[in-house]
Structure 1
Amino acid sequence: MLGVVDRSQLLRIIDKTGQLLYRVQLPAEGTTIFLGWEKSGAGAVLAAVQRLGGAFLWFPARPENVQQWEGMQFSTKVLKNSLVKRNSHFDTCFACWSDAGKLMLGLADGNFAIWDLGSNETFMSRTHFPGKHRNAITCGAWTPDGTSLALGSATQLKVSAPIANASWEGTAAKLDLAAGVSGGFQKVSFSSDGRMLAAFAGLSVFRGLTL
């Protein structure tokens, strides 16, 4: 199946024969920044992520509607355009799936939210959470087993690891950019065994960050 969002923010789901399976109008005032299937290969859910709108989740097993996820809340009613402007507490600027079925949304205020497809558990960082960034999340990557998450921002790189289930309360590693390095963190990537991390910031490349 193929998911497509056009400039009017209309989401279409198309099968391999080109037949339209489902369509829904996402908030037209929003901007879709991420569109991707979960990575297990089964195609259990498609996530369309908007700035200010959160994530819109479509399940092939329940094709009649789309669920909207805003941090700790799920709804089968898509936000009206007028409400998108008031959703500043959940201004999403980055998103990615893990290979283990976890969806991460990085927010403009430095927080992040996680939804676990397998357990349906959700987590959202808070103001004094050690994994929170001072600036907007600009990039991120999961370890292959989905147990650790690296997030970058304008000035910091942090690796968070869970204590139990979906409670991501620990910071396993942290790197602050030196003064004068412009551009912030742009990309992070784990090695296949999850023990090494490479990060790109401005014109600098950090290789072999051992966890």
Structure 2
Amino acid sequence: GADERPGMKQLFEVGSDRLSRGPVSFAWSPNGQFIATASCQLRLLVHDRKGNLHDEIQIPGRAAPGQCAAVQLAWDRRSEKLALLTAASKPGIGDAVVVYKVRQREAMRLENVQMAKELTHIAWDPQGHVLSVGTAKGNLLLYDTRIGKTMSIMGKHTKGITCGAWSADGRLALGGDDKQITVSLGNGDTEFQLAVKDKPKELQFAPEASSGGSLAATKRLNQISATLSGDQSSIYLYRLGEFGEDPPDIRNPAELRFDPYYGKIKSHHWAGAGYLVVCFDSGQCVLCRMEGGEMEQE
């Protein structure tokens, strides 16, 4: 039925007749034109913004009761490609990667990535050319869609990779079960490595506003925001320093702590320089205005 809340209007619904009952994963394309949804059934549905079915893709693997067939869905920034990490028997672990080209309606399973077992995280680089794939053993795979080749980087972390994010200037931050955050160049070489007090759950490169409130196009993103598994009410900000310089005292990050009233942090996103959106398991979202690593207004 239609949502009766003020200011809210239901546009369309993808019901259980299409998705089956159980957990569902979904992801909007960055341009807002498509939404991809996956459920316990071995199929991925792609609808346009009007609710019309654009395509239906078979997901490899075996269906497991009560488990979504997709561990993670990741669109590239141009909304041209969608990467799908398919679920394995272990919760939160994937066993295959499928890349779907939305305009061409073409899906391809990455066979050379398939050789790596227990996949844990996927993310696109800023241009949408390279897909990073983390594993439960702490290894990193970089798949280049332009040439169809994969570069393997062993031992990026000593334990499983849990999360990651690319910066606009082409660096890759990864968090692991070893309680480390690594920042690597586009070729996989490690630029920084820092120890944190618990396992990272989510990482983002954080834009910093200049004194005039705008973000200079040439300014490097030298700040990482992270949520940690042991503290679900805080976001930590780590400063990395300028390129070629030793990082500042990263052992003492700035902490943004939220009232337990909101619940546990599920996700956070930077909406431009100085603005942070934080979403909680209570269903509430908070918009924060940041200045100099501190919360000015909530």
Paired position in structure 2 for 1:159: 183
Indicate if the aligned counterparts of 1:95 and 1:105 stay in contact, CA closer than 8 A. Answer: yes
Paired position in structure 1 for 2:127: 100
2:110 pairs with 1:110 = no
Structure 1 portions without partners, runs of 5+: 74-86
Indicate if the aligned counterparts of 1:188 and 1:198 stay in contact, CA closer than 8 A. Answer: yes
Match of 1:25 among 28, 34, 58: 58
Paired position in structure 2 for 1:143: 167
Q: Structure 2: how far apart are the matches of 1:118 and 1:143?
A: 20
Paired position in structure 1 for 2:47: 14
Structure 2 portions without partners, runs of 5+: 1-33, 87-92, 208-219, 243-298
Q: Structure 1: how far apart are the matches of 2:163 and 2:143?
A: 17
2:252 pairs with 1:210 = no
The total of aligned residue pairs comes to 180
Larger of the two Rg values belongs to structure: 2
In structure 1, give the amino acid aligned to 2:168: P
Superposed CA RMSD: 2.6
Offset at residue 138 of structure 1 (A)? 1.0
Q: Calculate the TM-score normalised by the size of structure 2.
A: 0.53
- 1:12-58 CA-to-partner distances (Å, cap 9, x unmatched) read 12234433332222123474111132112xx2111111243322111
Q: Structure 1: how far apart are the matches of 2:237 and 2:144?
A: 30
2:60 pairs with 1:36 = no
The aligned runs of 1:77-88 (5 Å cut-off) are none
Q: CA distance change for structure 1 residues 189 and 25 in 2, over 3 Å: closer, same or farther?
A: same
Indicate if the aligned counterparts of 1:96 and 1:140 stay in contact, CA closer than 8 A. Answer: yes
Indicate if the aligned counterparts of 1:93 and 1:106 stay in contact, CA closer than 8 A. Answer: yes
The aligned runs of 1:113-128 (5 Å cut-off) are 113-117=141-145, 120-127=148-155
Q: CA distance change for structure 1 residues 92 and 209 in 2, over 3 Å: closer, same or farther?
A: same
Q: Structure 2: how far apart are the matches of 1:33 and 1:19?
A: 24
Offset at residue 187 of structure 1 (A)? 2.4
In structure 1, give the amino acid aligned to 2:74: G
Paired position in structure 2 for 1:69: 110
Offset at residue 190 of structure 1 (A)? 1.5
Indicate if the aligned counterparts of 2:36 and 2:44 stay in contact, CA closer than 8 A. Answer: yes
Indicate if the aligned counterparts of 1:49 and 1:95 stay in contact, CA closer than 8 A. Answer: yes
Indicate if the aligned counterparts of 2:165 and 2:173 stay in contact, CA closer than 8 A. Answer: yes
Offset at residue 104 of structure 1 (A)? 1.7
- 1:52-94 CA-to-partner distances (Å, cap 9, x unmatched) read 332211113432x410114457xxxxxxxxxxxxx6x331112
2:100 pairs with 1:58 = yes
In structure 1, give the amino acid aligned to 2:117: F
Offset at residue 175 of structure 1 (A)? 1.3
